[in-house]
A and B are shown apart, each in its own frame.
Chain A
Amino acid sequence: QKEVEQDPGPLSVPEGAIVSLNCTYSNSAFQYFMWYRQYSRKGPELLMYTYSSGNKEDGRFTAQVDKSSKYISLFIRDSQPSDSATYLCAMSANDYKLSFGAGTTVTVRA
């Protein structure tokens, strides 16, 4: 079993739709949870950072963590064509190493 499993996608949604992205994990030592966005032929960049169960909102983005179920989600409201990218979940059990999901490619159709 992989340490981090991410819904594979790809996802294609119309502009304005809600995008839902999900990851599960097996390592109960993970304490910090992040979502990265990666545009084509670019390096990943941090989108959201959470360290406790519950919801965290930043503009159109909401990150949700459920440590009891070992499940994290990212929601994108009012999706835009500029949100078309690959989204990677990442988790850390210590202060310097991240474990990544395989990524979900999202296309928002205008």
Chain B
Amino acid sequence: NAGVTQTPKFRILKIGQSMTLQCAQDMNHNYMYWYRQDPGMGLKLIYYSVGAGITDKGEVPNGYNVSRSTTEDFPLRLELAAPSQTSVYFCASSYSLFREGNTIYFGEGSWLTVV
């Protein structure tokens, strides 16, 4: 059972370039998320999805786009990369949190540097 798989692990982008961070989960979770984590700032929600074909903005969506064509996959697109997007990105998935023991499962993270 792979859980949540993110690729790539590390990437360096030049300002203005675009890229897609891939995310896949094999737990049949309906909810999927993208977070970014900056030093001392905790995890900030970028986008989330409650099911295939449904996505919504989180706290910090500017400069990003997502799609959810299948239950398993939730790619994050960075358009016109900026230095402010240098961060660690985590994809995550879950069932409903309103049941004890249910939780958000995180991937290993993707370290992105924009230069």
Contacts and interface: CB of A to CB of B under 8 A. Distances in A.
Is B one of A's binding partners?
yes
A94 B102 CA distance: 13
Interface of A: 4, 6, 8, 31-32, 34, 41-46, 49, 51, 88, 92, 94-98, 100-103
Determine chain A's interface SS by DSSP, over half rule: loop
Contacts of B109: 41-43
Interface of B: 4, 31, 40-43, 45, 48, 50, 58, 90, 92, 94, 96-98, 100-101, 103-104, 106-109
A43 B35 CA distance: 11
Contact of B43 (A31, A42, A44, A45): A44
Determine chain B's interface SS by DSSP, over half rule: loop
Given A49-B101, A95-B98, A96-B97, A43 B107 contact: yes
B42 A98 contact: no
The residue among B4, B58, B100 with the most chain A CB atoms within 10 A of its own CB is B100
